[in-house]
Amino acid sequence: MVLIAPSILSADFAHLEDEIKALEKAGADMIHLDVMDGHFVPNLTFGATIVKAVRKCTKLPLDVHLMVENPENMIEWFKNAGADILTVHAEATTHLDGILEKIKSCGIKAGVALNPSTDEDVLKYVLDKTDLIMVMTVNPGFGGQTFIDTCLDKIARIKKMIKGRKILIEVDGGINPMTAEESIGAGADILVAGTAIFKGGNYKKNIESLR
Ligand code: DX5
Ligand code: ZN
């Protein structure tokens, strides 16, 4: 069954602990945390301090999505904050191989994210060091955007590319019940969703409608 990773970008930050507990009760499989630096993406969110605070609220895996330039300098901060999966953008580093090794040497799972315009070929030589591939289906930076359909073929191509390897494919951006179904059909293992889960306040029903 597909795993659901609610993005707290759409949560009420004034009641973050309650939100995390409610997501846990609603059946979330992990918590997705969007770290943005205002350079790699035109938006700012939070850093390791908030990740550490969320760590105290839940035992669910923390899926940390780094939308930052030069992520190599920050790996230890997020490891110490309690991240279980740390995903960096292929476009944000010159040394993708090195940074994946660094993440794995910290004992946590290493992910690579690709913007909608990035060719999946960049993954070719790092597959054996990758635990998760995040296909961005919107241009990163904001919640509530429309799913970019051309990414569906990319998901299917990546699924073929990884062959028998134990690499999870995660899809992030514009996920709703319809795009969830299409993404699962193309080969997605994890769906990230913000808007679709927080909308209307019935997190359980919203999560179930994505599965
Ligand atoms: C976008 C973030 C996403 C975002 C998804 O840059 O990486 O995780 O929260 O939000 P929705 O589900 O609203 O598209
Ligand atoms: Zn994200």
Collect all residues with Cβ–Cβ distance below 8 Å to 124 and sequence separation of at least 6.
161
Class of the 3-210 domain?
alpha beta
- pTM for this model (two decimals): 0.98
Over residues 140-199, the pLDDT tens digits come to 999 999 999 999 999 999 999 999 899 999 999 999 999 999 999 999 999 999 999 999
Determine the pLDDT at residue 113.
Answer: 99
Residue given tokens 């019935």 in the structure block: 202
Q: Which residue CA neighbors atom 10 of ligand 1 most closely?
A: 143
Extents of the domains making up the chain: 3-210
Residue nearest (by alpha carbon) to ligand 1 atom 4 = 143
Any catalytic annotation for residue 172?
Answer: yes
CA distance 72 to 70: 5
Per-position pLDDT tens, the chain of length 211: 999 999 999 999 999 999 999 999 999 999 999 999 999 999 999 999 999 999 999 999 999 999 999 999 999 999 999 999 999 999 999 999 999 999 999 999 999 999 999 999 999 999 999 999 999 999 999 999 999 999 999 999 999 999 989 999 999 999 999 999 999 999 999 999 999 999 999 999 999 999 9
Q: Which residues line ligand 1 (CB under 6 A)?
A: 7, 9-10, 32, 34, 65, 138, 140-141, 143-145, 172-175, 192-196
Cross-strand bridge partners of residue 5: 192
Nearest one of 120, 105, 132, 100 to 30, comparing CA atoms: 132
Among candidate residues 131, 128, 123, the one with its CA nearest the CA of residue 86: 131
